[in-house]
Structure 1
Amino acid sequence: MTIATTPSASAVRTQPRFDHYVALGDSYTSGPLIPLPKPTAPLGCARSTSNYPTILAVKARVGSLRDVSCGGATTDHMTEPQRTPLGTNPPQLDALRPGTDLVTLGIGGNDEGVFGDIIGTCPTLRDENPSGSPCREHFTEAGTDTLAEAVARTGKRAGAVLDEIAARSPHATVLVVGYPRITPAPGSGVTCPDVMPLADGDLAWADDIETALNGALRTAAETHGASFVDMYPASYGHDACAGLQAWVQGKDTNPLVAMSYHPNAAGMYGIATEIRRTLNTTS
């Protein structure tokens, strides 16, 4: 006689919810200088064991994690190798398998050099007009905001990456991870020139650019069969000006905390928490 049995609650809890998780992305995924770095090649990608893929793998009961994120990555590096000072990262999509069942994608800020242009140019222009928007004016040509146009194009490239993910791992749950707030919320009146040295008007403009990028990524996710993890509501009050509550490092790199203008350990935990919340509401 065969007796039907039901798995115990403890057995269900220990079973992997996802068998094979692949994390794709740039430095906002890899977590440069957040203790501790992963001893995985290439070292130039600066992956951390405190980044959100590692945290999520535990929270979401993942059987196997393949984190191929890399600092400086663009959407091109999803299908092309990325050369770093300490080795070459293979095309990130090569980590996908037909049986991959969870994928996170955090990409777009480096496309056309948008984030690099902001953090590389805006602080040097602040003294020209501390209460104005000298950086926005610098990147405006014939009345056109060139960085806003760039992030709009990024959305199309992200959509193409999502199509390729679906082709390689057709049964995967795919989440596009938005960028958390870097600058204070517009209208808050908060400034911190010693930490985030942008002119007052450029703080709001930089937020506009990041909001536009996240909007482009959301649209790409919604039109290409993925879910979007919106980090803006959760990261309110956790921008670089938030002191001990900050999820993002300011202008000064701290080798024991994070690279400048990048998420710290608390930020990575916050991102992992939001991804898990999204998973729980979409599956």
Structure 2
Amino acid sequence: MPSVVRARATVAVGAALILTAATATTAAADAPTGKYVSLGDSYVAGPLIPDQSGGLCLRSDHNYPSLVATAIGSSSLSDASCSGATTYDLAQTQTDAGVPVNAPQLDSVTSDTRLVTLGIGGNDVGFVSIILTCAALSLTNPFGDPCTAHYTSGGSDQLAAMIDATEPKVAAVLQAIHQHAPQARVLVVGYPDILPEHSDGCWPLQPIAYGDVSYLRTTEKELNAMLATAAAQNGAEYVDTYTQTIGHDICKPEGVKWIEGVIPTAPAAPVHPNAEGEETLANIVEAALD
């Protein structure tokens, strides 16, 4: 994986849950047409999808916020998303190797903002290190569950603990959004289906051991469930992007997959949505707004 992408990549790990959206009182409202602010990580930014317009943030002008803004007729999109972002980077300047790459994303949320979409949490859990660790361990025992054993050694699930620790951080971000833009409708966008929902993967095509697919899939579902809870408890709506993307995971062939594998076959970052994936995410968000 290229270092600039690997160091700044984001996502969740495994597969995602929750069909029902946790809705605020504006759930049935028409899609806002005023200022729209997009916040989040690389699943929002769309790294390496043409055309790139976000500098070191690897932000595409065909990511789902750009497509949503066009579809709902929003005349003012402020896309502050940035690859590699954590919840910390929403309120602070994001840096890479000490070099500033993005201003605090929350600075884009102002009193005239009417719509905010937020996609965050994967990097707080440690997506990049999880992918690298599981890929390396799969070489030692491809038919077993070496990654699961690694992250549950000692009798505790390290990834589940990191998800639990991330929930109050997401809640704090949502509260800050409401403080900055009291009239904004806020959508928390979950992570799509990354690994196969109904199989044990496709090693060696994708370097995840057969016995680890279920664990990683469950981990992503737990991440999405946490995001849904945080949304429900903090005046936001949760948008499930997992259910409608089942069957388009990294193991599917070119033209079917919406998430690229470790070695992409379309312009996109490894283990990230391709252009079709971002278009699908846009359609799901637009449906939620309707």
Query: What's the TM-score bracket when you normalise by the shorter of the two chains?
Result: 0.7 to 0.9
Deviations 1:195-235 (A, max 9, x none): 42100111111111110100000000011010001011111
Secondary structure, counterpart of 1:120 in structure 2? helix
Q: Could you list the runs of 5+ residues in structure 2 that have no partner in the other structure?
A: 1-30
Q: Deviations over 1:45-94 (max 9, x none)?
A: 00001100100011111110000100000000110100136742111000
Cα contact 1:195–1:252 (8 A) shared by 2: no
Q: Does 1:272 align with 2:279?
A: no
Amino acid at match of 2:169: R
Query: 2:36 aligns to what SS in structure 1?
Result: strand
How far the C-alpha of 1:106 sits from its partner, in A, is 0.2
Deviations 1:98-154 (A, max 9, x none): 0100000000000042x1122110011113222221001111232101011101221
Q: Which of 105, 114, 121 is equivalent to 2:133?
A: 121
- Which residue pairs with 2:149 in the alignment? 137
In the other structure, the counterpart of 1:163 is 175
- Selected match of 2:230 from 207, 210, 220: 220
Between stretches 210-219 and 239-248, larger displacement belongs to 239-248
Q: Is it true that 1:229 corresponds to 2:229 in the alignment?
A: no
In the alignment, residue 229 of structure 1 is paired with which amino acid? V
- Secondary structure in 2 matching 1:251: coil
Aligned pairs for 1:243-258 within 5 A: 243=253, 244-253=255-264, 257-258=267-268
Asked if structure 2 preserves the Cα contact closer than 8 Å seen for 1:44 and 1:87, the reply is: no
User: How far apart are the structure 1 equivalents of 2:141 and 2:120?
Assistant: 32
Q: Are residue 79 (structure 1) and residue 79 (structure 2) matched?
A: no
TM-score between both structures, scaled by the size of structure 2: 0.86
User: 2:52 matched to 1:37?
Assistant: yes
CA distance in structure 2 between the aligned counterparts of 1:104 and 1:194, rounded to whole angstroms: 36
1:21 to 31, 36, 39: 36
For residues 195 and 164 of structure 1, the distance between their equivalents in structure 2, rounded to whole angstroms, comes to 42
Structure 1 consecutive aligned stretches of length 4 or more whose deviation exceeds 4 Å: none
- In 2, Cα distance between the equivalents of 1:167 and 1:278? 23
Deviation at 1:242? Answer: 1.6
- 2:184, 2:101 → 1: CA distance? 27
**Residue type matched to 2:103 in 1?**
P
What RMSD, in angstroms, separates the aligned Cα atoms of the two structures? 1.5
1:102 matched to which residue of 2? Answer: 115
How many pairs are equivalent?
A: 258
Please give the TM-score of this superposition, normalised by the length of structure 1. 0.88
Secondary structure of 1:128's match?
coil
Larger radius of gyration: 1
